[in-house]
Amino acid sequence: MSQNRTRVVTVGEVMIELARGADGRFALSCGGDTFSTAIYLARAGVPVAHATALGDDIYSDQIVSLATAEGVGGDLVLRVPGRLPGLYLADSGANSAPLFHYWRDSAPARSLFELPDWARIAEGLLGARMVYFSGITLSLYSNEGLGRFLAIVELARQQGAMVAFDGNFRPRGWTGDVGRIRAVFMEALKRVDIALPSFDDEALLWGDPSPEVTIERLQAFGIREIVVKNGPKGAVLAAAGQQHPAQQHAHVPVPEVVVPVDATAAGDGFNAGYLAARLAGQSPLDAAGAAHRLAAQVIRHRGAIMPRAEGAVH
C-alpha cells in the first residue's frame, strides 16, 4: 500500500455521456462528477486513481482507455461481465443551465462495495494520500455498501489519509425521505477534512440561508477547511489554523464573470483546481483563486471534460 500513498483516490460513477453540441447534434463521451475531478487533477500533475465499477462492453472499454490516456489510474476499476455503465443525456436549458436525463439504475458502479472483489477497492483507499467523494457517490450505494464505504474512509483517515467531500446533492439520485438522506450525509461529514459544497445544494438539502450558515453547520462536524462555492458570486472560505486572519473566513470573488457555454462540471473543475493547489502546498486562499480560474475554463466548453490542451491548472 505504501507505493500508492502519494496519490488521490476519487470514488464514484462514470457514465456514458450524450451531450448536445452547438450544431444541435449529440456527441458521445463520458462523465461523472468525481471522474471529471480525477481527470482535472491528473492534468494538474496530481497522481490520481478512480475507484468505480464498469461492465465488459465496448463503452466501458472506451472509458478505461480515456482514463489511461488522461493519466488516471485504472487499477481500482472493477469490471462486471454482462453489465452496462449508466447513461446520461446532457442538453442545455434556459441561460445555458444544463438539463440531464439519466438511465443508470442497474449500473455496476452502484454495487461497487458489494462486488466479490470489493476488498481491492478498500486496499486502494487505505493506501491513498487523499480520498475524494461526493454526495452523488453516497447516493449510489445500498445501506450495506454505504456502511462498508464509510468504514473504509474512517480507517483510511485514521491511517493518515485526508478526506475531501463535495456535498453535490441531486434529489433524483436518492430514494427515501429527507431524514435518511441527511443521516447519510451526517455520517459522511464526520469523516471529512476538506468540504467543498455548493451553496445551492446546501440550501436545498439543509435550508441554509447563506454560505456563512453552511460554514457554521459544517464546522460543527469538526471540519477545519471549508470552501462554499456560490457560482458567479464567488466562494466563501473558512480554514482553521491559517497564519493570516483574513484566510480564516474570506469571500473569494471570481476573477471575471464568465457567461457559461455549458455549466456542466464547473464545480468538479473548481474542486480539482482547489485540491491540486492545496496538495502542492498553496494556501487555501491561493487555492481558491486557482479553483476559480479552472472552473472558468471548464464552463467555456460543452460537456464535462474540456479539450485536453486547455486542461492545465494555472
Residues with catalytic annotation? 268
Residue linked to cell 481491492? 120
Contact indicator for 9, 128 with CB cutoff of 8 Å: yes
Contact indicator for 69, 112 with CB cutoff of 8 Å: no
Rounded to whole angstroms, the Cα distance separating 37 from 272 reads 5
Q: Is 91 exposed, middle or buried (0-12, 13-18, 19+ CB in 10 A)?
A: middle
DSSP string, 260-301: -S--TTHHHHHHHHHHHHHHTT--HHHHHHHHHHHHHHHTTS
Which residues have CB under 8 Å from 270's CB, separation 6+?
Answer: 196, 229, 235, 291, 292, 294, 295
* Other CB atoms within 10 A of residue 149 CB: 25
Rounded to whole angstroms, the Cα distance separating 132 from 151 reads 15
Closest to 260 measured CA to CA, from 288, 301, 311: 301
